[in-house]
A and B are shown apart, each in its own frame.
Chain A
Amino acid sequence: MYVAVKGGERAIENAHAWLAEERRGDRDVAELSIAQIREQLSLAVNRVMAEGSLYDPDLAALAIKQARGDLIEAIFLIRAYRTTLPRFGASEPVDTGAMACDRRISATFKDLPGGQVLGPTFDYTHRLLDFKLAAEGETPAAPSRVAEPGDVPHVTEFLNREGLIEEAVHDDTPPPDLTREPLEMPADRALRLQALTRSDEGFALGLAYSTQRGYARNHAFVGELRIGTVPVEMEIPELGFAIDIGEVTLTECETVNQFKGSKTEPPQFTRGYGLVFGQTERKAISMALVDRALRWEELGEDFVGAPAQDAEFVLYHADNIQATGFLEHIKLPHYVDFQSELELVRKLRREAGADQVQEAAE
């Protein structure tokens, strides 16, 4: 006997209670604190801040805890919170040339002003499980010394001085804001970069990798990768001048890409650019490669049909919150649509002379 499906409300409440219990896990194991997540899972925190488009390590850590470590779910929590925040104004553009670098490397020059600074990198670790960590031993403090004074100029500036790389034209036009305006095509570079910096890391990585394997190859060298803190300044109307309101950690990647030239123009290297919240270098490098691939039109290159060249394809599919929502919505009931498809397929089969057995059984 069919009983009309009721009780959705109670089912949802119970599911939420069960979820909360599962999130907590075994109660004999100490509960994670927000500070522990912030300090010891900081790269996860960085990813959530970058893709959540909100720089707040404590909130990101809270989101990770609430999401049981599902980073896309955590990013979603941050995004949903972010939309409710009032907007007081915009900061001045940050100056990454004035960054206090924890890490700064160039793959194009062996040595350069400011030096090569490896910083806290996994790069040369041997990926061997460290069972000492399982024994919960304390880590000895790393050796340290005072940072060398002096500027850390951008590598691309050296090339620019010789005219070897395309000029990055100074532009004070306020960038569009894709969190306040609908994304519309064609998207200019500022808008594309904005979409890429909050894009899904895996999606950006896959696209960037595809360019390396020949789908719109653009021969990228990491001209420079730098990670560190920059001050954020904001002009306060009551004061009439800009003051420091805090600092953020950023990862910046500038790639030096294949040159172009013609009979009339001497050859020049071209640029790709990545800038992401936190220590997120895989994402920043991916972003720079995809940025470069998307610039095919302005650089007079051919559209070879590669996914990474296709701005509509990249920008409409790079956001993991949009993607995961739409993907997972197919779990929702679709009885009505499915019923109308059933009717249609039955009708077509009936006319084709099939389906006799099933109809008889009805």
Chain B
Amino acid sequence: MTDYNFAYLDEQTKRMIRRAILKGLAIPGYQVPFASREMPMPYGWGTGGVQVSAAVLTPEDTFKVIDQGADDTTNAVSIRSFFERTAQVATTTATAEATVIQTRHRIPEAALTEGQILVYQVPIPEPLRFLEPRESETRKMHELEEYGLMHVKLYEDIARHGHIATSYAYPVKVEARYVMDPSPIPKFDNPKLGHMAAIQLFGAGREQRIYALPPYTQVVSLDFEDHPFEASKADHPCGMCGANDSYLDEVIIDDAGGRMFVCSDTDHCEARQAQGHRGKDAA
């Protein structure tokens, strides 16, 4: 792959993306339009995250990719090998060793630190999209801080179901200004968004938007006083490492409805097992 520039994109394109990232960091939660490029993987498969990673990676970086919390899911493997080929950067599965982490749908369990960058793949960056399909309208709503429609939606959930019926991509408000889509992470992960030591960058390739949370930004999940936000997970410990505080995948293990729960963050789970923690289903 010597025919391609470092990390695939040419330097002009990276500069354009870096400008969008800087603007995003300067206005936390604001969606910055950027001239997203066609990448050699399909739209909807992380092209936004890949472009952001390509723009921030340096040859000295150590790169980690997770999808659904796992390093070995097929698309995570594909994106990791893309950067191994085009940027020859070191890769890792250990959260603490990575300087840039590209993720789809999860925030790692281990607390991130200053100097790390977490890059999210975002399918639909507009939190108001399913309430108002028109981009020209939603941009106006953000300009005017007109978020009543979102509160009405959440209220209607409570009226109908007794709870806010959003379990992932749960909307947040950033620094008391912009309502932001945190990408389809489970709402369990929402509390980690705020006051994080690492830089958080969000890339939506098909929708041509970048937004960002600088370190230690205030991020509040939308709720009501009498229906406060609640992070939820399966009410079980991990079957492999016994963790009580990690987000769990449910795995069907036989055709009689038997199932077990296991950490979605594979690095977290393996690290705990290496430390000697054992769950009830561990071999």
Give residues in A with beta carbon < 8 Å to B. 1-2, 4-9, 11-12, 76, 79-80, 82-84, 86, 179-186, 312, 316, 321-322, 324-329, 332-337, 339-344, 347-348, 351, 358, 361-362
Docked CA distance A184–B32 (Å) = 12
A326 near B81 (CB under 8 angstroms)?
no
* Complex partner residue of A348 from B76, B165, B184, B249, CB under 8 angstroms: B165
Knowing A312-B134, A332-B67, A337-B184 touch, does A84 contact B10 (C-beta < 8 A)? Answer: yes
Closest to A183 in B: B208
A336 near B206 (CB under 8 angstroms)?
no
B43 near A325 (CB under 8 angstroms)?
yes
Residues B69-111 near A (CB distance < 8 A): 69-70, 72-78, 81, 104-106
* Distance to closest chain A CB from B73 (angstroms): 5
B262 near A340 (CB under 8 angstroms)?
no
A326 near B251 (CB under 8 angstroms)?
no
**8 A-B pairs (CB sep. < 8 Å):** A1-B281, A8-B77, A329-B42, A336-B106, A337-B186, A343-B233, A348-B161, A348-B163
* Distance to closest chain A CB from B155 (angstroms): 16
Knowing A76-B42, A337-B184, A339-B248 touch, does A7 contact B72 (C-beta < 8 A)? Answer: yes
Task: Give the total of B residues in contact with A, Cβ under 8 Å.
Answer: 72
B168 at the interface (CB under 8 A from A): yes
Residues in chain A near residue B161, CB distance under 8 A? 348
Q: Which of B45, B247, B253, B264 has the most CB of A within 10 A?
A: B45
B42 near A186 (CB under 8 angstroms)?
no
Closest to B80 in A: A9
Number of A-B contacts (CB under 8 A): 158
Residues in chain A near residue B186, CB distance under 8 A? 336-337, 339-340
Closest to B249 in A: A335
A325 near B44 (CB under 8 angstroms)?
yes
A333 near B42 (CB under 8 angstroms)?
no
Considering the complex of A and B, which 4 residue pairs feature the smallest CB-CB distances, nearest first?
Answer: A325-B43, A329-B44, A325-B42, A340-B167
Residues in chain B near residue A179, CB distance under 8 A? 35
Residues in chain B near residue A5, CB distance under 8 A? 70, 72-73
Identify whether the interface residues of B are mostly helix, strand, loop, or mixed. Answer: loop
A336 near B134 (CB under 8 angstroms)?
no
Residues B42-69 near A (CB distance < 8 A): 42-45, 47, 67-69
Docked CA distance A342–B236 (Å) = 14
B253 near A2 (CB under 8 angstroms)?
yes
Residues in chain B near residue A4, CB distance under 8 A? 240, 262, 266, 269-270
B257 near A361 (CB under 8 angstroms)?
yes
Residues in chain A near residue B152, CB distance under 8 A? none
* Distance to closest chain B CB from A261 (angstroms): 30
Docked CA distance A96–B5 (Å) = 37
Knowing A5-B72, A12-B78 touch, does A336 contact B185 (C-beta < 8 A)? Answer: yes
Residues in chain A near residue B185, CB distance under 8 A? 336
Closest to B67 in A: A333
Docked CA distance A335–B261 (Å) = 12
* Distance to closest chain A CB from B238 (angstroms): 11
A340-B188, A344-B165 known, 12 other contacts, Cβ within 8 Å:
A2-B253, A79-B38, A84-B8, A326-B44, A335-B249, A337-B167, A339-B186, A339-B264, A344-B167, A347-B232, A358-B257, A361-B257
* Complex partner residue of B38 from A12, A82, A340, CB under 8 angstroms: A82
B281 near A2 (CB under 8 angstroms)?
yes
Residues in chain A near residue B232, CB distance under 8 A? 340, 343-344, 347
Residues in chain B near residue A339, CB distance under 8 A? 186, 234, 247-250, 264
B208 near A343 (CB under 8 angstroms)?
no
B240 near A336 (CB under 8 angstroms)?
no
Q: Which of B168, B234, B239, B257 has the most CB of A within 10 A?
A: B168
Closest to B253 in A: A2
Knowing A343-B167, A361-B257 touch, does A336 contact B249 (C-beta < 8 A)? Answer: yes
B105 near A337 (CB under 8 angstroms)?
yes
B72 near A182 (CB under 8 angstroms)?
no
Closest to B71 in A: A8
B135 at the interface (CB under 8 A from A): yes
B281 near A340 (CB under 8 angstroms)?
no
A2 near B44 (CB under 8 angstroms)?
no
A84 near B45 (CB under 8 angstroms)?
no
* Complex partner residue of B40 from A12, A80, A185, A361, CB under 8 angstroms: A80
B259 near A362 (CB under 8 angstroms)?
yes
* Distance to closest chain A CB from B237 (angstroms): 14
Q: Which of A8, A184, A342 has the most CB of B within 10 A?
A: A8
Docked CA distance A217–B145 (Å) = 38
* Distance to closest chain B CB from A234 (angstroms): 20
B77 near A182 (CB under 8 angstroms)?
no
Knowing A2-B251, A80-B38 touch, does A312 contact B136 (C-beta < 8 A)? Answer: yes
Docked CA distance A82–B163 (Å) = 48
Q: Which of B37, B185, B262 has the most CB of A within 10 A?
A: B37
